[in-house]
Structure 1
């Protein structure tokens, strides 16, 4: 008689059947939690009852073998239970570490890692081009109602919080972010976009982070084109003629496009010109130069010279 027959006669297969009722669905999300650890500890520490010991001894006697072989069978069961728990953990996708209701402190998926450090959660963006729902998923798993969106930005706005909002929050609630380590750039190894949320954040928060633009993608966040690190670095276009600014842009290998603006009556602020198809002459005036996309600068212009820059209010 082989060992499988011995286990069947001893009633051990019935015990395996009972263990099998703990299905993958019931273990989902608990393989690394307190419940899984308690289950494994209970299996390991359980002592055989009288009925089990008697049945095992009877089966051993019938086979002409000694009862101690039952310990081998029990070690087999423990091994099977431990293997099942490890297998359940291995097939999990997003991982929520130490997931005990109200005490989870970290989360990870393919797009983001989040960890509680001191009095704030620090989220490291692993994939800046991922679906923004994956970022929100991580915060929601930790009980935080936080929305995150990454938008294409000109070089000096990459890693900055472009804008953010709050709803139903308290004075203690804080959102932040940037590039970490401080002063690094995304093309450096070990440099990441990060988002921070204060511990115990109430209500809802949402923030937008600037990310590198894909080829041909227009910027949704940008700095003035003359700023250090931007396409017209060191050049001040304010109040110059279109002819002069366009010549400088083309000298740098840039394409030039125009936006015709209409200043407000008081000179502070502006609206869009009604006819954007009008031909812009070299004698027109430039009030701001903005990066539109990689290799293209957008000039905000009027036909007449103005006493006050409507873009800057100066």
Structure 2
């Protein structure tokens, strides 16, 4: 008698088991049909184990799988109050929906699925952002909203550092939101990914924090950037006489001299600062207008 027969006999108490019981025939057929790679992990059941024990074990497996599926909870009066899938968790709290982003790199359709399940016609896209813009709604496009409709972004818990474990992105939506459209939320960038949303490079929390690059020479600012271990790129502009500036993408290959003027600095991607420069100095900053 082999291990399979022992297992069958423990479960099927039919006369002459494990050879003749109907449960034994069925169980043996299922076990023998199982690929060897999986079969070798089958535990030996102790003598006296019942079909109920096997059934409960199967129920536990089903319950574990169910946790991974989308979940929708309804309130006492019927309307949905919470939804969760692999990418987003949305709950109604104190008159607003709080959507916690579980996977900031997920397919955007999974975010929309969550809002749609709660009756909200909101699309959400996450854009790579410089550190101080992570968690911001960087732009949005909505139609048909009322004055009571509110939408915002942030970090959960508030004030946490995005790169630290447990610091999550969140979106808040007023209950009964009537608008239709899409919001763009800043997320941490992947290595080598260019920012699609950023602040000035010299504000607190950005790469030139504590240093003012405006209206200094390129030589000065590049030296400071290198001192901080940063790479430098340039965006060449032509100041307009009445203020403002113009930029021609085909004129970005010119050699930038150390005597050129820096009018602003922007984070381009992690470790790289982009300097907005012109060859000649003008009386008024063409980028900031001061």
Which of 98, 115, 118 pairs up with 1:122?
98
Q: How many residues align?
A: 236
Unaligned runs of 5+ in 2: 1-54
Mapped contact 1:262–1:273 kept (Cα < 8 A): no
Mapping for residues 2-17 of structure 1, pairs under 5 Å: none
- Cα 1:302–1:273, aligned 2, differ >3 Å: closer, same or farther? farther
- Alignment check: 8 A CA contact 1:262 1:270 kept: yes
What's the TM-score, normalizing by structure 2? 0.74
Structure 1's 187 and 255: CA in aligned 2 closer, same or farther, altered over 3 A?
Answer: closer
Match of 1:219 in 2: 195
More helix by share: 1
Quote the offset at 1:99 in angstroms: 8.2
TM-superposed CA distance for 1:195, in Å, is: 0.1
* Runs of 4 or more consecutive aligned structure 1 residues displaced over 3 Å after TM superposition: 86-92, 99-102, 187-190, 268-274
Matched, 1:309 2:289: no
Contact 2:237 2:245 in 1 (8 A): no
- What stretches of structure 1 of length at least 5 have no aligned partner? 1-79
Residue from 90, 104, 122 that aligns with 1:146: 122
Shift of 1:278: 1.1
Pair member with larger Rg = 1
Matches within 5 A, 1:65-76: none
Give runs of aligned pairs for residues 102-251 of structure 1, distance below 5 A.
103-251=79-227
Shift of 1:189: 4.1
What is the CA deviation profile of residues 10-29 of structure 1, one whole-angstrom value per residue up to 9, with x for unaligned ones? xxxxxxxxxxxxxxxxxxxx
Deviation, structure 1 residue 247: 1.0
Report the Cα offset of residue 264 of structure 1.
Answer: 3.5
8 A contact 2:163–2:188 mirrored in 1:
no
Is the alpha carbon distance of 1:269 and 1:115 closer, same or farther for their aligned partners in structure 2, counting shifts above 3 Å?
A: farther
